[in-house]
Amino acid sequence: MPDSTGVAPLGEGRPLLASPTERQSIVADYASLGLTLGRHPLALLRERLRAEHIASAAELAALAHGSRVRFAGLVLLRQHPANAHGVTFMTLEDETGQVNLIVWRNVGETQRRPMVESRLLEVRGRLQRQGEIQHLVAEQLIDRSALVADLAAGSRDFH
């Protein structure tokens, strides 16, 4: 209805598009920036991973040297130095921190595909700790990338 000036007031209409979900926002952040300022993508998967008895980086920090563990994280880095005699070093990240992996030659050769192709990697192995330094020595590598298939996250690989 027009007011005294003869102009009808404009009411706010409903937005034509729904707000993106948290997952959609994270995916869009990774697609444009390669990272997000929101929650880490694995925070959205933590309940599922916990149900599968997959520890977080923070939980690994509380375990003793030699503990058998399962961990999953986004692959940040792969290094295969020429002077490392076939050993590959990897860094994985979840919502609580980073975990450094040691992949011995025999494991890397028999499980090459998940080692080089995974964006989300599950690792089963033994925790190695000396003082504040901690590594996960890989025994089994499992490609879990399907859980983050829409996430455009790539690793930084060095040879």
As a whole number of angstroms, the distance between CA 36 and CA 4 comes to 50
Q: Is residue 9 part of a domain?
A: no
14-31 tens-digit pLDDT? 767 777 776 666 666 666
Provide the pLDDT for residue 159.
47
Q: Is residue 17 part of a domain?
A: no
Considering just the CA atoms, what is the radius of gyration of the chain in Å?
A: 22
Q: Is residue 6 part of a domain?
A: no
Q: Is residue 3 part of a domain?
A: no
70-88 tens-digit pLDDT? 999 999 999 988 888 889 9
**Can you give the CATH number for the domain in which 124 is found?**
2.40.50.140
Q: Is residue 43 part of a domain?
A: yes
Q: Count up the domains in the chain and report the number.
A: 1
Tell me the sheet residues that pair with 140.
Answer: 124
As a whole number of angstroms, the distance between CA 97 and CA 130 comes to 18
Q: Is residue 151 part of a domain?
A: yes
Q: Which residues of the chain have pLDDT under 50?
A: 156, 158-159
Structural domain for 141, as ranges: 22-158
Provide the pLDDT for residue 108.
95
Model's pTM, two decimal places?
Answer: 0.77
